[in-house]
Amino acid sequence: MDVREKIVVVTGGANGIGRALCLRFTREGARKVVVADLNESLAREVAAEIDGIAIKTDVGQEADLQQLVEHVTSSLGPIDLFCSNAGIILNGGPETLDADWQRIWNVNVMSHVYAARAVLPGMQARGQGYLLQTASAAGLLTQIGSAPYSVTKHAAVGFAEWLSITYASAGIKVSCVCPQGVRTDMLDLAEGGIADHLRETALDPAEVADAVIAGLASETFLILPHPQVAEFFRHKADDYERWLRGMRRLQTKFGANP
Ligand SMILES: NC(=O)c1ccc[n+]([C@@H]2O[C@H](COP(=O)([O-])OP(=O)(O)OC[C@H]3O[C@@H](n4cnc5c(N)ncnc54)[C@H](O)[C@@H]3O)[C@@H](O)[C@H]2O)c1
């Protein structure tokens, strides 16, 4: 896909990776970029920078995503590319409160389900459309220090994979972007030791946007802004036990004691 002249929606577009995507899609000639975010004032700032539109959206609420899609479709036209990018992190294991598990499940997983539910009927009717989901390398590997993030990002990858398989014959394309560390506010919220480790190879959000543009151009399902993630993923598939031993060493070095 070439984003020129396309109508694009980016959730979590007010900050970090989402903001970089909004700026880059605009530079590439998108017809209109919609910045959908919980943080309305920041979303307005980004929209003002790119002559886009800011829409306050909580991606964990289905009604918000339905309204977002209806509003964009009726005011601008069909959505060509929907980037379901908003996500959150919280640290912890099984002791994490149910309410927090539910919150991160809604934002990191159900947001993609709600987005798909809202945009797929129109895309199917037109026989075209593109869904881009931001998951994480943690969805292919794991996130030291955070079970809720690891689990929800695995689920996000699983859902993207399923959509890609199921809707290809309807002309609908799906990509899933799985970065490792990216220099955004989120990286500061990851558990201390592992966050410092991830910072060593962290990318700028603009570099993730570069990888997304290339991945959309080639219509690649798995977009890996850090190429080494492909290697780690291969190691995991080749020898799961060995990969787990390596990850346990990382836990000992960078993780907190449970
Ligand atoms: N930063 C990293 O190291 C990293 C690595 C891999 C994947 N990711 C993923 O990239 C995506 C973007 O993260 P980021 O690093 O840019 O984080 P960020 O915190 O800089 O930005 C996230 C944006 O999402 C918005 N948001 C949060 N909850 C929302 C909700 N319920 N509804 C709508 N908007 C909401 C925030 O207001 C913010 O503008 C996330 O899905 C994240 O999991 C980040």
Q: What is the mean pLDDT of the chain?
A: 97
Instruction: List the domain range (segments joined by +) for residue 67.
Output: 7-227
What pLDDT digit, counting tens, does each position of 146-177 carry? 999 999 999 999 999 999 999 999 999 999 99
Q: What is the CATH number of the domain that holds 174?
A: 3.40.50.720
Closest ligand 1 atom, CA of 86? Answer: 24
Q: How far apart are the first and last CA of the chain?
A: 45
How confident is the model at residue 193, as a pLDDT?
A: 87
Where does residue 39 rank: exposed (0-12), middle (13-18), buried (19+ CB within 10 A)?
middle
Q: How far is the CA of 125 from the centre of ligand 1 (A)?
A: 31
Spatial distance between the Cα atoms of 258 and 255, rounded to a whole number of angstroms: 9
**199 lies in some domain:** yes
Q: Taking the CB of residue 52, how many other CB atoms lie within 10 A of it?
A: 24
Is pLDDT of 257 > 90?
no
What's at 138, amino acid-wise?
A
Q: Which long-range contacts (CB under 8 A, 24 or more apart) does 162-171 make?
A: 163/116, 163/131, 164/221, 167/120, 167/123, 167/124, 170/123, 170/124, 170/127, 171/123, 171/126, 171/127, 171/128, 171/129
Number of domains in the chain: 1
Query: Probe ligand 1: pick from 89, 186, 196, 197, max atoms within 8 Å of CB?
Result: 186
Residue 163 lies in a domain: yes
Q: State which ligand 1 atom lies nearest to the alpha carbon of 179.
A: 6
258, part of any domain = no
Residue 34 pairs in a beta bridge with 9, 53
DSSP state of 77: -
C-alpha 87 to ligand 1 mean position (Å)? 4
Q: What pLDDT is attached to residue 5? A: 98
Answer whether residue 195 is part of any domain.
Answer: yes
**pTM value?**
0.98
CA of 15 to the centre of ligand 1 (A): 7
Residue 29 phi/psi, 5-degree rounding, is 100, 20
Query: How many angstroms is it from 67 CA to the middle of ligand 1?
Result: 21
List, chain by chain if needed, residues with CB within 6 Å of any ligand 1 atom. Answer: 11-12, 14-18, 37-39, 57-60, 85-88, 107, 134, 136, 179, 181-182, 184-187
Determine the distance separating the centroid of ligand 1 and the alpha carbon of 240, expressed in angstroms. Answer: 29
The rounded Å distance from CA 41 to ligand 1 centre is 16
Query: Does 238 reside within a domain?
Result: no
193: left (phi over 0), alpha (psi -120 to 50) or beta: alpha
Within-domain flag for 243: no
| 180 found inside a domain | yes
Residue 191 pLDDT level (bands cut at 50, 70, 90): confident
Query: Does any domain span residue 60?
Result: yes
pLDDT tens-digit series, residues 98-139: 999 999 999 999 999 999 999 999 999 999 999 999 999 999
pLDDT in tens, 197-256: 999 999 999 999 999 999 999 999 999 999 999 999 999 999 999 999 999 999 999 988
